[in-house]
Amino acid sequence: MKSITSNLIRISALLLVIAIFVSCKPRTKYDNYFKIGENVYEITHGGFINKGETEGGFKLDLRLYGEAGSNFLSFNIVSSQAENIPSTTYNNFEGAWVLGYTEAGGYTDRADINTGKLVIGRSSDGYSIEIKCTDQYSTVIKGRFKGNLSIEDEDNLVHKIPDYVLPSEIYDEVTKYIPIHSGGTPPNMEGEYVSAPHALIYESYAEKPDSLQFYSDRYLGFLYANKQMNFYGKQYDSSEKRDIEEIQYGVKITGSDDNFTCYYVVDGYVEGFYAQQSFIFSGKKTNAGLEDFHVAVILLENSGHPNMFPVNSYRVLKDYDGLAENNYWLSGKSGSNIATSKKNNAFDIWMK
């Protein structure tokens, strides 16, 4: 009996030691954090800045910030797309950690991050980022982040429409119906216009694809803010019996002289299926408005969604009289009074 009691005492003591050890082991109290050596810092938000074209795609500055933005990690990576970061493992990047950053450009401490890996994934819940790197002083940098990333443009110029916006498989077909311009000297698009009469001239998935259909007037505006060009749109929706307005940030542009082609890409999850589509605008900027104005909408990805059109389905619309005229419909508006659609997402409505 004494032997059994003695063994129980030993086991209890061992369990107590284990419990004390586990409780004393350093734990990360933040869901999103980065760790420099043994020091842990919370990540409250993140985003990336498109710094423009580079070999292999676009140079993006991925930043993960603390609450006040004074502590952050920065990673310069090359992405095939300017609008999102594809899910993959990144080993080739330049980075840094910064502590105590001020608006004047000063900081308390910093170091370059030059080896390691970033594992980036994406789902309907947003991005997931796992960090395991080493800085210039051989200090181990670890961390994780789950959530959405904001997007900014520092350079919106492209020298031609990228393949992921207008796929090469359908390029020749699409350009029968919409002019596509390229070059490094596009016009300044600042202005407000209306396409009227606004007509659908081709719909690739329709039984009669070239059947002409007229839609309500399409109002559009291009405004610049903080080195970024943003698109504003308005169109009457007969099903909702009201004007639907939209804002899209970070519009890219190419062209030369007065000829332009600009675009933005929308992506997200439709009933759990990842989907992506591009909106392309082309024409010639004149004093009277946008001459030869065309719009193309292309479904780039549907992830096999059973109720969506096939990948590379597209539609082309235009101002039927050849000029989207100047129309100052947007002046005086702000983001607070933009009325967006009640429908779940852009993939339901194929914006006209």
- Taking Cα atoms as reference points, which of 70, 128, 130 lies closest to residue 97? 70
Side chain identity at 305, as an amino acid letter?
H
Parallel/antiparallel/unpaired status of strands 213-215 and 289-301 = unpaired
When pLDDT is averaged across residues 41-59 and rounded to a whole number, the result is 95
State the Cα–Cα distance between residues 281 and 263, nearest whole angstrom: 6
- Taking Cα atoms as reference points, which of 294, 335, 332 lies closest to residue 316? 294
| pLDDT range class, residue 20, cuts 50, 70, 90 | very low
How many CB atoms within 10 Å of residue 198?
22
State the architecture of 168-349 in CATH terms.
Answer: Beta Barrel (2.40)
Q: Is the pLDDT of residue 101 over 90?
A: yes
% of the chain surpassing 90 pLDDT: 72
pLDDT of residue 9: 53
Side chain identity at 202, as an amino acid letter?
Y
- Taking Cα atoms as reference points, which of 251, 84, 263, 233 lies closest to residue 167? 263
- Residue 64, beta-bridge partner list: 46, 73
CB 188 within 8 A of CB 287: no
Lowest model confidence (mean pLDDT) among 120-134, 249-263, 288-302, 329-343: 329-343
Q: Is the pLDDT of residue 26 over 80?
A: no
Q: Is the pLDDT of residue 22 over 70?
A: no
Task: Delimit the domains of the chain by residue range.
Answer: 33-153, 168-349
State the Cα–Cα distance between residues 46 and 39, nearest whole angstrom: 20
Name the H helices within the chain: 2-24, 168-174, 346-349
When pLDDT is averaged across residues 320-340 and rounded to a whole number, the result is 75
pLDDT of residue 29: 82
When pLDDT is averaged across residues 227-251 and rounded to a whole number, the result is 90
User: Which residues, at least 6 apart from 125, have a Cβ–Cβ distance to it below 8 Å?
Assistant: 146, 147
φ, ψ of residue 253 to 5 degrees: the values are -145, 145
CB 325 within 8 A of CB 197: no
pLDDT of residue 8: 47
- Taking Cα atoms as reference points, which of 154, 134, 135 lies closest to residue 48? 154
**Residues 186-210: pLDDT tens digits?**
999 999 999 999 999 999 999 999 9
pTM, rounded to two decimals: 0.85
- Taking Cα atoms as reference points, which of 243, 257, 273, 277 lies closest to residue 347? 277
96 conformational bin, left if phi > 0, alpha if psi -120 to 50, beta if neither: beta
